Amino acid sequence: MPACISVPFLRVSEALEIVPVASYAGVTLWNYRTLFGSQDIDSLEDLATLQTFTGSLDESWFYLVSVAIEARGAPVVPRMLEAIAAAREGDVNTVLEFLNFFAQILEELTALLVRMHESCDPHVFYFKIRPFLAGSKNMAEAGLPHGVWYEDDDGKGSWRQYSGGSNAQSSLIQAFDLILGIEHRPTGVKRSTSDDSHKQGTVPPQKHNFIEVNLPIRQFRPN
């Protein structure tokens, strides 16, 4: 990657506290506009992408379905916090009300996801779009045994390897997993029955990564 591209790319990434590679946030959440000025960004008919790698409708549609899902699911976040507080206080009615609301939203999100097939052909996505999102980590078979060379201002640089963008980086879906107590483990690995910390309302130590994602350059720590 020549300095004219890599240097500003690295500077912007550092300012945004993200790694310099295509990410879910970059190609999806920061990459859309409304067509008719509506505030309802959960409507696919009112959304358009700003930039794509291929210029295809398939790629644009792939991003926009995710945007609509994030927007439609967002109202769950404050409600889930209310449900957690209610559960700790023994307020069963509020918890049941939230779960019913949650179930309704999940049905709506499923309906949005199913619409992916309307304008995103699986063959086009896998062979034309996915290579742009694959990143440079573990990509020796694609001709990148060392990753990508990021050139510096002085003509030097370094090899860098980053995992590419993935919808698994969606904080909304990860939040759903947390609120429902869903733990992901590699195939064949079972949850240890000796770990009962989840019964105390705390998250047990993570022993297995369901997916390895790129962490921010600077991680935020709670006070």
% of residues, the chain, pLDDT over 90 = 64
pLDDT of residue 220: 34
Domain borders along the chain are 1-125+162-182+205-223
How many whole angstroms separate alpha carbon 149 and alpha carbon 126? 25
Enter the tokens of residue 136: 């440079």
Q: What are phi and psi of 204, to 5 degrees?
A: -65, 155
Judged by average pLDDT, the poorest of 82-91, 153-162, 163-172, 203-212 is 203-212
pLDDT band for position 213 (50/70/90)? very low
Residue of higher predicted confidence among 209 and 29: 29
How many whole angstroms separate alpha carbon 96 and alpha carbon 223? 32
- pTM, rounded to two decimals: 0.79
Residue of higher predicted confidence among 185 and 155: 155
Radius of gyration of the chain (CA): 20
Enter the tokens of residue 120: 């995103």
CA 137 to chain centre: 18
